[in-house]
Every structure is written in C-alpha cells, then in structure tokens.
C-alpha cells in the first residue's frame, strides 16, 4: 500500500464515521454488492473470512479497544478463540500450535500494550522460523501518528522480528492482506507475519470479493535444487570417509523427516541434530548420535568435530550449536542445504551450497549418489564414543529427586507421540537430554530466543493442535514457570489435559550454574527461595496440584498427574545442586565439552 492509498482510506474513513450516525454509504455504481443479499460485510468480517479460507480453526488472543470489531466478527463465526491471560502467551501458544500442526498459528491483540506484549512471542517465532500470523488492532487511521490512546507504531516495532508485516489501510484489500500474510508465514522459510488493523478499516463496510491468499509476485523461494549442486553434493558424499548429517530445524519445518530417515539409513550415514531438529530422526536408532551443541551429547560433539564431510540440512549454525566457529567441524567439507540462500555461508562457509527444499533436495541427492561411502571405521569410532560418553547421572536411592529421573519417568509413562514443551533453563536441557524423541513435531521449545516462560503457553497451543489422544507434558523450571504462570487460568477454563512438571530447585538454575562456573559462585539475583508452593498455586487456579519430595514418589505421581483429565501441576523439589552436563563453554570447541564443573 502506498502512503497515497493510506491517506485516501483515511479520508474515506472519516466519511464512513459520519455515516455511522446516518445511512450507510451507497454501493459504488457498477460494482456488484454481494453484501446486499446477506448481512452487510465489514473489514472485520472479511478478515475473519480470510482466516476461514486459510483453514484456521483456533486462535489465541486478548480482547481490547482497537481489535473489538474483529472480535465482534469472530463471535459470529465458527472459529474457536482461546482467550489468554496475557498477549505474550497468545503469541507463544500460536507459535506452538504452528510447530505441532505445521500450519500457521494465529494470535490476536489490541493496539498499544496488546501489540507490544506480542513482541517477545513474535521474536521467539522469528528466531525459530515458526509460522505465526499476528493480527493487531490499531487506532483509526486518522489518529495514526497523533499519539492517540493505546497507539504504538506496531509495524515499526515488529519490523525486525517478523518475516513481513503490513499496515492494512484499506478496507477493500484487507482480506487480501491477511491472505498474503498467511501465505508468506508458511511458504519458503516459515516465519511470523503481522497485520496491523486500524479500527476504522475493520469497522467500515466493503463489497470486496473473496480474499486471495498469494505471496508477492517476486517472492519465489527456490524449492527445487540446482542439478549441478545436487551432483556436487552427491560426489562429495560418495568419497567421504567420515560423513555426518547435521539435521536442523528446517527438516521439521519442511516435513522432511521421512526423506532424512530414508537417506541416512539408505546411505548408512550417522545423523546428529540441532536442538530445534530433535525428533526429526529417531534417537533410539543406531545411526543417531544425538544433539550437537552446548549441551549436546558426547558422541554428537565428537562426531561433528572429527567428521570429514558434514551434510547440514535446514540448519542456521547458531552459536549454541557451533561453539567457537574456528573449532567447528574443522576438517569437514560442508554441504549445506537450505531454502533460505542467506543462511548459506552466513556463519559457517559451505563448500557445496545447495538451495532448495530440505526433503526434495535430500531425495535428489540420494538418487544422484552412485555409491554409499565406506564408513565401517567411522561407525566403529562412533559406537566407541557412545560407550565412552553415555548420558547418565548419579541418583542416590535416599534422594534428593534428580531432574533427569523425573524426565525419564514421564518418558516411560507416555506414548512415543507425546508432546514435550519446555520453558528455558536447566530444566529444558534435562528434558531434551533425557527424553528419547522419536517423532517430529513432538519437541516444542524456545531455541533461538531462549524465552523463559514459554513452556505453559506452548503447552496450551500444542494441546489445541495435537490429536485428542496425544499427551502433552510441559517441563518448567520454577523461575521460568513464574513468568507465565497466569496462563493456568486458561488451561483450567478450557479444561486442557496438560501436565506441567516443575523441576523446582529454587534457583534460576542455569544462571546459578554459570555464576558458580564463571563468576566465583557470586549468586546475584538467581536464588528463588521466595517461590510459592506450586501445588497450592495450581489449586488456587483450579488445577490439580501435586508435590514430590522423594524419588519414591515420582512414578506414582507421574501416573496420577497424567491420568487426571485436566491441567495438573507437579512441583518436583529436585536436587538444588544438580547441573547440566555435558557442556561446551560459550565460544569453546565442541570436542572439548566438559563433563563436570572442574573441566570448564
């Protein structure tokens, strides 16, 4: 929309404001008025129709002044709206919904504080390339720029943290704008998009036709890889002695898990994953080496350090994964498949860049390969590493409760397709390390932004997208849980069958671990001994609360919490001194992961 168009709309909207007190504006001559045959159509009802034609069923949001027309139209539709306690949670819920469903999650907020409260959730979705569509109310166009009540420059604020955003200044095209936002959120590399909806635009009547859902003409992500690049990748892999596949979040986003499994087993190449890709390859498969990075497994970090050919798929080489770039996969020829050309050679130089869709490209490279690399020695080396560096922990029988034990207990008590969401901190790392993930879209966590408080709202979003019989377990830390604990009210109101496991050590545990390791144990502002009794708190919200103090109580309580049909919260009083290992020091070499604090 040009500024010209916006001004025009603002002019028209002043007229339509006047019209509200009198008769509605006449239909422009010569244009069919579909609205005449039924109820009159407003910008807001077109927005809702655009949501319906995009296949949306569930939305997450919070009411407010400037978004009221959209809610009014929503109330007349069959769409399910989940009122959240805070807009940040609406964005996280939409994000988690998008991860589990594979289609964009939708969040709504009003102007000003409503929109700014979405910011953390949108930034989180942006870092993790999750498809989210945010709709925000805005003050009427003739007030925009005047510092009106609850006005914020929402498109300005969210520009750096959205894939695209729009100021929808025109009632006649607002449906197409919402449609475009949907198309862009999921096409190519997914990401969050936002449409800012001025109140006069959603209130005004329009005779616009069916909303379209198209990306801009020049937005054409290259899905089919270049044949020469595919051939070069195949030749490089055929001659590899120590090949390793590094699957990134793009494998999940691109639904490329089947192709990854076929490729890795067909060509006998071990698979490591980044944290967002957990579940893309079954972790109980003998070709799996686990997760690479700061808290990744020993075998994965050894394999990435010693491989001679690294096939990275849909991976952006985040610093938590690479450690120091100078020591990352130092001997490897890197083949990098990504649908986003800007990711290739951004952080780690790719000798063989392949732009394309993850699944299609893997399949093409597989077909192009004439032989499978001989990896007997390499396979033996990897299985040695698996024996040398098992994921384990010390658990004395008389207590205290070990967090890893809690994670394992939940894993054992749930089905393979159970969904795990987490907040951010030590508990998140224990969850990813000690749960055996075998299915894509079952690990829902905040990776790039590292947003504490993500777990509970994500569980709400995941619950909405999951199959009815799929279990949803959220691991939270005491500090992380407190950041969005108010969303328990939503889980109770909606009677959502989710189980929150609070791994409570009365610390901002990861900060405490770093303070002990790098700041001489100066535990400033990381001790949370003022934490509430979470079981009582859960009951105050109307949820089912449990407290666990001893390892003996874990199995039964896990069972009882999972059996409860509704939200339950288990407050696990865990060993407060337990730390997360293995650990690669920030900026350090992956191959030098520490197994205890004295190795840091």
Partner 1 sequence: MSGEDSTSQAGMPGPAPDERPHPDGRRNAHGVRIDPEADAEAERRTAVVSALVEHEPGVLSQVSGLFSRRQFNIESLTVGRTTVDGHARITLVVEETDHGIEQARKQLAKLPTVIQVGELDDNAVRAELVLLKVRGDEPDKVHAITEMYEGQTLDAGPRTITVQITGDQRKIDDAIDAFRQFGIIEIARTGQTALARGDTPTTPGEEPGHSTEPTDSGYETEAERGETNRSTTETN
Torsion of CA 229, 233, 234, 235, to 10 degrees: 100
Secondary structure E strands in 481-583: 499-504, 544-548, 568-573
Told to judge if 515 belongs to the known catalytic residues of this protein, a careful annotator would answer no
Would you count residue 340 as binding partner 1 (CB under 8 A)? Answer: yes
Asked if 474 contacts 500 with a C-beta cutoff of 8 angstroms, the reply is yes
Q: Facing residues of 247 across strands? A: 273, 313
Question: Please, what is the end-to-end C-alpha distance for the chain in angstroms?
Answer: 54
Would you count residue 575 as binding partner 1 (CB under 8 A)? Answer: yes
Name the one residue in this structure whose structure tokens are 């959209």: 70
Would you count residue 3 as binding partner 1 (CB under 8 A)? Answer: yes
Would you count residue 214 as binding partner 1 (CB under 8 A)? Answer: no
Among 59, 164, 321, 543, binds partner 1 (CB under 8 A): 164
Return the sign of the alpha-carbon dihedral for residues 407, 413, 419, 421. Answer: negative
Contact region with partner 1 (CB under 8 A), list: 53-61, 134-142, 269-277, 571-579:
571-579
Would you count residue 146 as binding partner 1 (CB under 8 A)? Answer: no
Kindly tell me which of 457 and 591 has the beta carbon lying closer to partner 1: 591
Asked if 99 contacts 130 with a C-beta cutoff of 8 angstroms, the reply is yes
CB of 330 to partner 1, least distance (A): 4
Contact region with partner 1 (CB under 8 A), list: 27-35, 226-234, 530-538, 578-586:
578-586
Kindly tell me which of 1 and 68 has the beta carbon lying closer to partner 1: 1
CB of 384 to partner 1, least distance (A): 11
Among 35, 395, 560, 562, binds partner 1 (CB under 8 A): 395
Determine the Cα–Cα distance for residues 465 and 93; give it in Å rounded to an integer: 10
Would you count residue 293 as binding partner 1 (CB under 8 A)? Answer: no
Told to judge if 199 belongs to the known catalytic residues of this protein, a careful annotator would answer yes
Q: Which of 275, 291, 452, 510 is catalytic?
A: 510
Name the one residue in this structure whose structure tokens are 């030749």: 235
Q: Which of 149, 331, 380, 539 is catalytic?
A: 149
Of residues 295-324, which lie at the interface with partner 1 (CB under 8 A)?
Answer: 298, 302, 305-306, 317, 322
| Tokens encoding 524 | 């400033």
Would you count residue 231 as binding partner 1 (CB under 8 A)? Answer: no
Which residues have C-beta within 8 Å of that of residue 83, sequence separation ≥ 6? 61, 62, 63, 490, 493
Kindly tell me which of 499 and 590 has the beta carbon lying closer to partner 1: 590
CB of 336 to partner 1, least distance (A): 10
Would you count residue 592 as binding partner 1 (CB under 8 A)? Answer: yes
Task: Report which secondary-structure segment, H or E, holds 561.
Answer: helix 554-563
Q: Is 587 left (phi over 0), alpha (psi -120 to 50) or beta?
A: left
Kindly tell me which of 53 and 345 has the beta carbon lying closer to partner 1: 345
Residue in 257, 263, 274 with CA at minimum distance from that of residue 329: 274
CB of 322 to partner 1, least distance (A): 8
Among 348, 418, 458, 466, binds partner 1 (CB under 8 A): 348
Asked if 186 contacts 133 with a C-beta cutoff of 8 angstroms, the reply is no
Would you count residue 23 as binding partner 1 (CB under 8 A)? Answer: no
Kindly tell me which of 307 and 491 has the beta carbon lying closer to partner 1: 307
Told to judge if 402 belongs to the known catalytic residues of this protein, a careful annotator would answer no
Site string for partner 1, 173-212 (x = CB under 8 A): -----------x----------------------------
Would you count residue 587 as binding partner 1 (CB under 8 A)? Answer: no
Among 86, 163, 295, 506, binds partner 1 (CB under 8 A): 163
Told to judge if 593 belongs to the known catalytic residues of this protein, a careful annotator would answer no
Asked if 371 contacts 238 with a C-beta cutoff of 8 angstroms, the reply is yes
Would you count residue 579 as binding partner 1 (CB under 8 A)? Answer: yes
Would you count residue 34 as binding partner 1 (CB under 8 A)? Answer: no
Which residues have C-beta within 8 Å of that of residue 520, sequence separation ≥ 6? none
Would you count residue 390 as binding partner 1 (CB under 8 A)? Answer: yes
Would you count residue 593 as binding partner 1 (CB under 8 A)? Answer: yes
- Helices 113-127 & 87-101 angle (0-180, nearest 10): 30
Kindly tell me which of 74 and 583 has the beta carbon lying closer to partner 1: 583
| Tokens encoding 359 | 């699944």
CB of 511 to partner 1, least distance (A): 17
Determine the Cα–Cα distance for residues 124 and 450; give it in Å rounded to an integer: 8
Among 325, 492, 560, 562, binds partner 1 (CB under 8 A): 325
Determine the Cα–Cα distance for residues 308 and 348; give it in Å rounded to an integer: 15
Which residues have C-beta within 8 Å of that of residue 426, sequence separation ≥ 6? 403, 477, 503, 505, 509, 510, 513, 578, 579, 580
Among 397, 468, 469, 565, binds partner 1 (CB under 8 A): 397
Residue in 342, 296, 299 with CA at minimum distance from that of residue 322: 296
Q: Give the C-alpha distances (Å, rounded to integers) separating 507 from 311, 433, 456, 538.
A: 39, 20, 19, 20
Would you count residue 159 as binding partner 1 (CB under 8 A)? Answer: yes
Told to judge if 88 belongs to the known catalytic residues of this protein, a careful annotator would answer no
Would you count residue 443 as binding partner 1 (CB under 8 A)? Answer: no
Q: Give the count of residues interacting with partner 1 (CB under 8 A).
A: 68
Would you count residue 224 as binding partner 1 (CB under 8 A)? Answer: no
Q: Is 221 exposed, middle or buried (0-12, 13-18, 19+ CB in 10 A)?
A: middle
Would you count residue 520 as binding partner 1 (CB under 8 A)? Answer: no
Asked if 378 contacts 363 with a C-beta cutoff of 8 angstroms, the reply is no
A 10 A CB-CB count for 531 gives: 18
* Prior bond of 400 cis (ω within 30°): yes
Q: Label residues 313-334 b or e (16+ Cβ within 10 Å = b).
A: bbbbbbebbbbeeebbbeebbb
Would you count residue 398 as binding partner 1 (CB under 8 A)? Answer: yes
CB of 140 to partner 1, least distance (A): 17
Among 58, 63, 83, 347, binds partner 1 (CB under 8 A): 347
- By annotation, the residues acting in catalysis are 87, 149-150, 199, 510
Binding site for partner 1 (CB under 8 A): 1-4, 6-7, 155-156, 159-160, 163-164, 167, 184, 215-216, 218-219, 298, 302, 305-306, 317, 322, 325-332, 340-342, 345-349, 351, 388-398, 575, 577-579, 581-582, 589, 591-599
């Amino acid at each position: 929309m040009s500024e010209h168009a916006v001004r025009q709309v603002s002019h028209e909207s002043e007229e339509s404001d006047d019209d509200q007190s009198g008769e509605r504006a006449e239909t422009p001559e010569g244009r069919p008025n579909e609205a005449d045959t039924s109820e009159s159509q407003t910008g807001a009802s077109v927005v809702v129709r655009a949501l319906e034609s995009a296949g949306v069923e569930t939305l997450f949001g919070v009411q407010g002044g400037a978004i009221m027309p959209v809610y009014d139209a929503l109330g007349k539709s069959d769409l399910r709206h989940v009122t959240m306690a805070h807009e940040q949670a609406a964005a996280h819920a939409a994000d988690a919904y998008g991860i589990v469903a594979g289609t964009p999650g939708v969040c709504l907020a009003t102007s000003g504080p409503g929109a700014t409260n979405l910011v953390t959730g949108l930034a989180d979705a942006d870092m993790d390339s999750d498809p989210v569509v945010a709709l925000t109310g805005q003050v009427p166009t003739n007030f925009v720029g005047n510092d009106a009540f609850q006005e914020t420059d929402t498109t300005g604020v969210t520009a750096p943290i959205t894939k695209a955003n729009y100021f929808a200044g025109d009632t006649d095209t607002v449906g197409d704008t919402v449609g475009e936002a949907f198309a862009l959120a999921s096409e190519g590399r997914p990401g969050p998009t936002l449409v800012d909806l001025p109140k006069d635009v959603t209130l005004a009547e329009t005779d616009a036709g069916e909303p379209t859902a198209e990306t801009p003409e020049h937005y054409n992500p290259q899905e089919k890889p270049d044949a020469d690049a595919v051939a070069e990748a195949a030749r490089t892999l055929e001659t590899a002695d120590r090949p390793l596949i590094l699957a990134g979040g793009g494998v999940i986003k691109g639904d490329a898990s089947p192709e990854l499994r076929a490729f890795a087993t067909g060509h006998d190449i071990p698979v490591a994953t980044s944290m967002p890709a957990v579940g893309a390859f079954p972790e109980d498969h003998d070709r799996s080496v686990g997760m690479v990075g700061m808290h990744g497994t020993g075998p994965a970090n050894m394999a990435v350090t010693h491989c001679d050919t690294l096939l990275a798929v849909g991976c952006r080489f985040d610093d938590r994964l690479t450690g120091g770039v100078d020591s990352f996969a130092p001997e490897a020829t890197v083949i990098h498949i990504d649908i986003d050309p800007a990711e290739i050679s951004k952080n780690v130089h790719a000798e063989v860049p392949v732009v394309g869709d993850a699944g299609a490209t893997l399949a093409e490279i597989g077909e192009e390969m004439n032989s499978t690399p001989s990896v007997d020695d390499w396979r033996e080396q990897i299985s040695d590493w698996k024996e040398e560096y098992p994921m384990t922990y010390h658990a004395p029988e008389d207590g205290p409760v070990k967090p890893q034990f809690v994670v394992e207990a939940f894993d054992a008590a749930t089905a393979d397709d159970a969904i795990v969401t987490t907040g951010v901190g030590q508990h998140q790392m224990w969850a990813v390390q000690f749960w055996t993930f075998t299915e894509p879209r079952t690990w829902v966590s905040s990776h790039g932004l590292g947003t504490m408080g993500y777990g509970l709202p994500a569980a709400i979003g995941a619950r909405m997208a999951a199959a009815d019989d799929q279990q949803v377990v959220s691991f939270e830390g005491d500090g992380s849980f407190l950041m969005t604990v108010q969303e328990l009210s939503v889980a109770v109101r909606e009677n959502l069958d989710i189980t929150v496991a609070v791994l409570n050590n009365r610390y901002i545990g990861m900060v405490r671990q770093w303070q002990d390791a790098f700041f001489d144990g100066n535990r400033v502002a990381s001790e949370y001994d003022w934490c509430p009794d979470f079981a009582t708190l859960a009951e105050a919200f109307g949820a089912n609360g449990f407290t666990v103090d001893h390892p003996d109580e874990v199995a039964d309580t896990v069972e009882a919490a999972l059996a409860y049909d509704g939200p339950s919260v288990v407050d696990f009083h865990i060993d407060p001194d337990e730390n997360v290992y293995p650990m690669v020091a920030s900026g350090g070499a992956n191959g030098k992961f520490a197994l205890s604090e004295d190795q840091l």
